[in-house]
Chain A
Amino acid sequence: MGLIGASGLGLPMAVEVEIVEVRIEVTESAKLAIEKSMSDDGDGSVLVISAESGGCSGYLYDMKIVDRPDEEGYQSISVGKRTIMIHDRDSDLLNGIVLDYKDTLMGGGFQITNPNADRSCGCGQSFG
């Protein structure tokens, strides 16, 4: 028997995460890159963009091509024939982002500009 045991679920929440309706902007180059990246994937595949804790500035961006998640709590954004999904828990952090793609040999790839970020890492993958 631990200090708290099963009664932990009865404790009040210390932190509530705000949920907002997500709007994002995807540039033409990013749309083409998404199409290209997902060309071998079926219609059931989606691009999930998320913010995980960690990185040098507090949060890390993550992008994954996965089968459409079964669980609730995701918001869908149509980009051409493809779908981007963002979890409700990330909605306030990722609302308003601009997803771009840079085709350069160094520092290229998908780039995210986030109006909610006070600071970001030089590599562009972490923000806070």
Chain B
Amino acid sequence: MQTDLAAVGSRLVDGMNLEDSRPTTLLEGDGVEEVLSSISTVKIEPYPPGTISRAVICNPVGKTIDAPYVIHDEAGLILLHLCQEKPEYLSSIARNLSKKGGSVRDASLVISRSFQDEECLDQSDGIIIQDIGIEGSFRIRISSDRGDEAPSDLSFQYFALAQGGLTEHHLGGRYLPQEIGLSEFVKLQNGCYPGQEIHARLDSRNPVTKRLVRIRCEGPLEKKRLITEDGKLKIFTPFVDFFAHAIADEGVVDGVINHKGIDVEITTIHSAF
């Protein structure tokens, strides 16, 4: 039976309020931006409260560990981690901050974050990260209250795979930031950070041309590596309701390809959330 893909899409925008339960931490103390910048691929500037930045943290071989949204708050920097567990790099930050009386605190209990669509947008206080998702039709709401909206029963995995979100499959030091939709956050001008040597070498000698794509496929694929006329696709996440993510060679173009009688739709994820 053919699945109505329009219906799949409509399930996503049907009053969605999907809670994101990944860890949240508060960095407080003098020079928090400088300390975070020292391990991030991009410099974190001291912006006014309410501003949103993004950090990308890599291991020494340049593979991505975390890509937290950074909320500039009066109390310090609030990190919305994308990894499932509290990341180890926090100990390096805590060490530096604590020398000047600062600390790294667990803010998970006082900060709520959820993915919402336009229909469900809560108008109460909070900070909104706009236009996320492949079509830019979703938002992240960050608040210090729990909100009144009923939580969605949509799974995080499904939403992330359908809309271009990063999951545990993307992180954990497996892929370069450029391979998982985070190219815009790799700034070699930030100076020395873990992984910078690798990024600099790639940038000057062998720029990363692979990119993150969403695969939509209704049939069973036999292999995790697909070879098309134009290049290869490496599928590295499980399929959840027909969606999975893959890393595509430069030559692979967006659109529908037929792989052994099965239609596979490929869509580039330009900016992963």
Give the B-binding residues of A (Cβ under 8 A): 1-9, 11-17, 50-60, 73, 87, 89-90, 93, 119, 126, 128
Task: Pull 10 A–B residue pairs with CB atoms less than 8 Å apart, ordered by A.
Answer: A2-B74, A4-B111, A5-B74, A8-B26, A8-B28, A53-B95, A53-B96, A54-B192, A55-B193, A56-B194
Partner of B105, one of A2, A8, A60: A8
One of B84-92, B164-172, B220-228, B253-261 at the interface: B84-92
Partner of B92, one of A5, A50, A59, A119: A59
Which residues of A lie under 8 Å from residue B90 when comparing CB positions?
A: 14-15
Which residues of B lie under 8 Å from residue A8 when comparing CB positions?
A: 26, 28, 73, 75-76, 105, 107
Q: How far is the CB of B35 from chain A (nearest CB, A)?
A: 6
| Pairwise interchain contact B60-A119, C-beta atoms closer than 8 A | yes
The residue of chain A having its C-beta at the shortest distance from the C-beta of B26 within the complex is A8
Q: How far is the CB of A64 from chain B (nearest CB, A)?
A: 13
| Pairwise interchain contact A2-B49, C-beta atoms closer than 8 A | yes
The residue of chain A having its C-beta at the shortest distance from the C-beta of B111 within the complex is A3
- Confirm or deny: B183 has a beta carbon within 8 angstroms of a beta carbon on chain A: no
Contact with A along B90-113 (1 / 0, CB 8 A): 111111101100011111011100
Q: How far is the CA of A50 from the CA of B92 in the complex (A)?
A: 12
Contact A52-B196, Cβ < 8 Å, known A3-B71, A15-B104: no
Q: How far is the CB of A69 from chain B (nearest CB, A)?
A: 10
| Pairwise interchain contact A53-B98, C-beta atoms closer than 8 A | no
| Pairwise interchain contact B105-A58, C-beta atoms closer than 8 A | no
Q: How far is the CB of A75 from chain B (nearest CB, A)?
A: 13
Q: How far is the CB of A68 from chain B (nearest CB, A)?
A: 16
| Pairwise interchain contact A55-B192, C-beta atoms closer than 8 A | yes
| Pairwise interchain contact A93-B111, C-beta atoms closer than 8 A | no
Most chain B beta carbons < 10 A, residue from A3, A56, A59, A119:
A3
- Confirm or deny: B212 has a beta carbon within 8 angstroms of a beta carbon on chain A: no
- Confirm or deny: B68 has a beta carbon within 8 angstroms of a beta carbon on chain A: no
Contact A4-B39, Cβ < 8 Å, known A15-B90, A53-B95, A128-B60: no
| Pairwise interchain contact B193-A54, C-beta atoms closer than 8 A | yes
Q: How far is the CA of A8 from the CA of B78 in the complex (A)?
A: 10
Contact with A along B105-135 (1 / 0, CB 8 A): 1110111000000000000001100000000
| Pairwise interchain contact B71-A55, C-beta atoms closer than 8 A | no
| Pairwise interchain contact B38-A54, C-beta atoms closer than 8 A | yes
- Confirm or deny: B181 has a beta carbon within 8 angstroms of a beta carbon on chain A: no
Contact A90-B95, Cβ < 8 Å, known A2-B74, A13-B106, A56-B194: yes
| Pairwise interchain contact B144-A3, C-beta atoms closer than 8 A | yes
Partner of B60, one of A50, A56, A60, A73: A56
Contact A52-B96, Cβ < 8 Å, known A13-B104, A14-B104, A58-B39: yes
| Pairwise interchain contact B105-A5, C-beta atoms closer than 8 A | no
The residue of chain A having its C-beta at the shortest distance from the C-beta of B144 within the complex is A3
Contact A4-B60, Cβ < 8 Å, known A14-B25, A56-B193, A57-B194: no
| Pairwise interchain contact B60-A7, C-beta atoms closer than 8 A | no
Which residues of B lie under 8 Å from residue A126 when comparing CB positions?
A: 192
| Pairwise interchain contact B127-A3, C-beta atoms closer than 8 A | yes
Which residues of B lie under 8 Å from residue A50 when comparing CB positions?
A: 99
The residue of chain B having its C-beta at the shortest distance from the C-beta of A73 within the complex is B99
- Confirm or deny: B143 has a beta carbon within 8 angstroms of a beta carbon on chain A: yes
